[in-house]
Amino acid sequence: MRIVKIIVLVLLVAFVGIQFIPTTRNQSDSVPSTDFMLVNDVPETIQKKLQVSCYDCHSNNTQYPWYNKIQPAAWFLEDHIKEGKDELNFNEWDSLSSRRKASKLRSIVKQIESGEMPLDSYTLIHTDAKFSEAEAEEMINFITQLKDNL
Ligand code: HEC
């Protein structure tokens, strides 16, 4: 039993210890003029869905959940946001060339069709980020039309 107590104590100290390691927060007050919503004529329902389902990981401003105050959850989120933004940042949309935009739009359609985005680990908690069939269809139609008009 002694060894179990020691292990629990060590884990507890480590858990408390990692809470003091700072993380970078992905937050910004301003929306740059290159933002996807500002440079495209996006219907309100689509704007809302993108905000709720994608912007937390694909923009410069994340609405953090309470558990972002707890490690190692915060590291997990930080990692997803960094990787997500590297692939696609809606705030910087208009800085992409037309070719890159077309390729990203194709990729967005693919991700939604296959149900890969938003990530399962995200919709587990953010249930409103999930797509109903009708929402997916509306989004795919809009994105496809945007691509065809590039
Ligand atoms: C919880 C964070 C998170 C959310 C929410 C999220 N993504 Fe992602 N996204 C990622 C990460 C991480 C990657 C890079 C790794 C990968 O492809 O799985 C990525 C990659 C992508 C890519 C590039 C994939 C490729 O391989 O070309 C596209 C496009 C994309 N996401 C679109 C979306 C759209 C559209 C939404 C909303 C419907 C969304 N994502 C919601 C985290 C997220």
| Amino acid, res. 35 | D
CA 145 to chain centre: 23
Nearest residue by C-alpha to atom 28 in ligand 1: 108
Q: From the CB of 54, is ligand 1 less than 6 Å away?
A: yes
Dist. CA 4 → ligand 1 center (Å): 41
Dist. CA 14 → ligand 1 center (Å): 32
Distance CA 24, CA 47 (A): 27
Q: What is the pLDDT of residue 1?
A: 79
Q: Which of 36, 47, 56, 57 to mutate to test the pocket of ligand 1 (most atoms within 8 A of CB)?
A: 57
Q: From the CB of 56, is ligand 1 less than 6 Å away?
A: yes
- 18, 75 contact by CB (below 8 A): no
Q: Which of 62, 75, 88, 103 to mutate to test the pocket of ligand 1 (most atoms within 8 A of CB)?
A: 88
Q: From the CB of 111, is ligand 1 less than 6 Å away?
A: yes
Distance CA 14, CA 143 (A): 46
Comparing C-alpha atoms, which of 29, 25, 27, 28 is closest to residue 68? 25
**Tokens matching residue 69:** 């105050």
Q: Tens place of pLDDT for every residue, the chain, 150 residues?
A: 799 999 999 999 999 999 998 888 999 989 999 999 999 999 999 999 999 999 999 999 999 999 999 999 999 999 999 999 999 999 999 999 999 999 999 999 999 999 999 999 999 999 999 999 999 999 999 999 999 999
Question: Peptide bond before 118: cis, by omega within 30 degrees of 0?
Answer: yes
- 122, 55 contact by CB (below 8 A): no
Q: What is the pLDDT of residue 39?
A: 97
